[in-house]
Chain A
Amino acid sequence: MLTIQNLTISSGSQLLVNGLNLELRAGEWLALAGESGSGKTLAAASIGGLLPRGISYRGTLNWKGTDLTNLPPARRRKLLGLEIRYIFQDYQGAFTPFITIGKQLDELLSTHTDLDRHARRALGIEALERVNLPGDRVYRSYPFQLSGGQLQRATIASALMLHPALIIADEPTTALDSLTAQRVLKLIAAAKERMNTSVLWITHDLRHVRKYADRVAVMCRGELVEQGTKDEVLYTPSHPYTKRLIAAIPPLSPDAPERLGQMPLSRRLKEGALK
């Protein structure tokens, strides 16, 4: 559905992403892992044409047969509103602080759909309720009146509201506590099941990857170093960088002992590979 070929992102003479190739199929959850600065966020931003000024990219971005690199602005906006939705790490910055959540959902709907006022309101409240928020109240609230977890769920409600084909979630859980993070991921997973939405999940933390992702791609210093099914990447990593990332996972889940047993091995491998 989304094919990225030979994507190169640069700022001036500085190369930030180098020749990235990635494919995302319909209904697939792909985790794009790597440390901060590895270029994963920039790669994700380039899909929607959201790179900041001064940063340019080359390569092919193919979305269902259309080339995303040369999209006219109006077409791109429609695409961002209806088909590809972003969820960002900083939920505080997801909504404009001085406009109610309802108004911002309404703004989104009136920009991208022809629904009348009542239908838009109903749809907005329904979307909020689908992420287990008290729809009516949140609809009337300002962002600062919600807790962090509520805000991130409202963001997800906004992202899922128009049944997008792809959700690009850029570290959606990093700023949340682990219980809230679980809930957020479950919400995305449920939406994926219900609407066959693809998910591109940017993360630096492989903790939850095994539970939610179908495939994993690992980036390091602007290059893709490894990709495969989650089992391949997590249990038989081939690149030393991936091994280091896996080794850095703290034991957390109830089935951790089984994983713990593997970690000394990978650590030994890592140390061997590094020397």
Chain B
Amino acid sequence: MLRSIGKKLLELLLFFLLMSVVSFCLLKLVPGDPVRSILRVDDVAVSNEQLEAMRDQLGLNKPLIVQYGIWLKQLVQLDLGHSLITHRSVFTEFAGKLPYTLSLTGGSLIVMLLIAMPLGTLSALYRDRWIDRLSRTISLIGSSLPSFWLGLLLIQLFAVRLRMLPPMGEGSILHLILPSLTLGLAMSAVYVRLIRSSLIESASQDFVASARARGLHPARVFLFHTFRHSLVPLITVFSGSMGSLLGGTVVIEVLFAYPGIGKWIVDAIAARDYPVIQGYILFMSVFIVSINVLVEMSYRWINPEIASKGKEIG
């Protein structure tokens, strides 16, 4: 047990090291000069002396490997540098934006569950009946919609026509509704199908037939036997799609002018704010890896067989 945890930790460490190299090199390889973009902010003619002075100040004249070393050393101290634009610490900026994105993600997950759970379940229970056909059609169309377009339509309907909700920005819980609805709707299209197929697969298991043959109530069989069995594939897919969920928040945040990390990174890319971009890539990898660890732990609860064998899924 201890050995497997140690191995896992070592793997994680290697992964983060790799990510740091990737995010560092990426920015060195792409075209564009951060120094120019910093100085261009002032929108005045830039002399070569100024460029050189700035390079020295940022340590960009040192060899790459030395630059990486310095960067990594700061990284270990949780110092990701300062934004070239706002001059605030990347870490503080990130910490300030994260709650917005987390509440958006949480909100859309709630919307997704509220829609996909009942529809997927009904679809599985009444397979090939009208409700199944209906929900499959909805989910097929839903998964073909560009999420930002759906967002635009929702803004027009709820904010412009009905004037029920604020169209964009942040401030109150009301501002969260439209973005969450947009992302949640887009996600549920995928999950309706998934929940349906996973439940159907679980319902055809022999142990479900056995439980019914013991005279247990169908609702009880469904909740405690079928449903729990279907959670494993669902959670696997869910953890795998965490990345696209976060990617989805980027577009939605831009669309709704919502000040989360998605909008932050798009602004940073536009301004070539390199420390922010590097920090963002690292934060995202940490975030996604932690989700994966959580998911792995949840398998152990859902299926003790996995825990006893120490076997991984997916």
Contacts and interface: CB of A to CB of B under 8 A. Distances in A.
Tell me whether A and B are bound partners.
yes
Interface stretch (A27-35, A56-64, A94-102, A224-232): A94-102
A142 B305 contact: yes
Contacts of A95: 207, 210
Contacts of B224: 96, 99, 107
A111 B206 contact: no
B214 A80 contact: yes
A76 B210 CA distance: 15
A80 B213 contact: yes
B125 to A, nearest CB: 11
A136 to B, nearest CB: 18
A31 B207 CA distance: 25
Contacts of A96: 207-208, 210-211, 224-225, 229
Contact of B308 (A82, A85, A111, A145): A145
Interface string B205-248: 11111111111110010001100110000000000000000000
B141 interface: no
A240 interface: no
A97 B305 CA distance: 8
Interface residues of B, number: 23
B228 A77 contact: no
Nearest to B216: A111
Contacts of B303: 97-98
A112 interface: yes
A95 B209 CA distance: 10
Interface of B: 205-217, 220, 224-225, 228-229, 302-305, 308
Nearest to A98: B303
Contact of A93 (B207, B214, B220, B228): B207
Nearest to A95: B207
B215 A81 contact: yes
Nearest to A86: B213
17 contacts: A50-B209, A77-B215, A80-B213, A86-B210, A86-B213, A88-B213, A93-B207, A93-B210, A96-B208, A96-B211, A98-B305, A99-B224, A108-B215, A111-B214, A111-B215, A142-B304, A158-B214
Contacts of A111: 214-217, 220
A270 to B, nearest CB: 36
A93 B204 CA distance: 11
Q: Summarize B's interface: helix, strand, loop or mixed.
A: helix
Contacts of B225: 96, 99
Given A96-B229, A97-B229, 20 more contacts: A50-B213, A78-B215, A79-B215, A85-B214, A93-B205, A93-B207, A93-B209, A96-B210, A96-B211, A97-B303, A97-B305, A98-B302, A98-B303, A98-B304, A107-B216, A107-B224, A108-B214, A111-B215, A111-B217, A112-B215
Q: Which of B207, B211, B216, B228 has the most CB of A within 10 A?
A: B207
A71 to B, nearest CB: 11
A139 to B, nearest CB: 15
A92 interface: yes
B92 to A, nearest CB: 44
A48 interface: yes
A214 interface: no
Interface in A94-140: 94-99, 107-108, 111-112
Q: Which of A76, A82, A111 has the most CB of B within 10 A?
A: A111
A77 B308 contact: no
B207 A97 contact: yes
B308 A98 contact: no
A182 to B, nearest CB: 23
A90 interface: yes
A212 interface: no
A142 B217 CA distance: 22
A275 to B, nearest CB: 42
Contacts of B304: 98, 142
Contacts of A78: 215
A93 B308 contact: no
Contacts of A145: 308
B41 to A, nearest CB: 58
A142 B229 CA distance: 15
Contacts of B302: 98
Contact of A50 (B205, B212, B228): B212
Contacts of B214: 80-81, 85, 108, 111, 158
Contact of B229 (A48, A80, A98, A112): A98
A31 to B, nearest CB: 20
A80 B215 contact: yes
A209 B51 CA distance: 96
Interface in A29-59: 48, 50
B207 A108 contact: no
Contacts of A92: 206
A48 B210 CA distance: 12
Contacts of B210: 86, 88, 93-96
Contacts of B207: 93-97
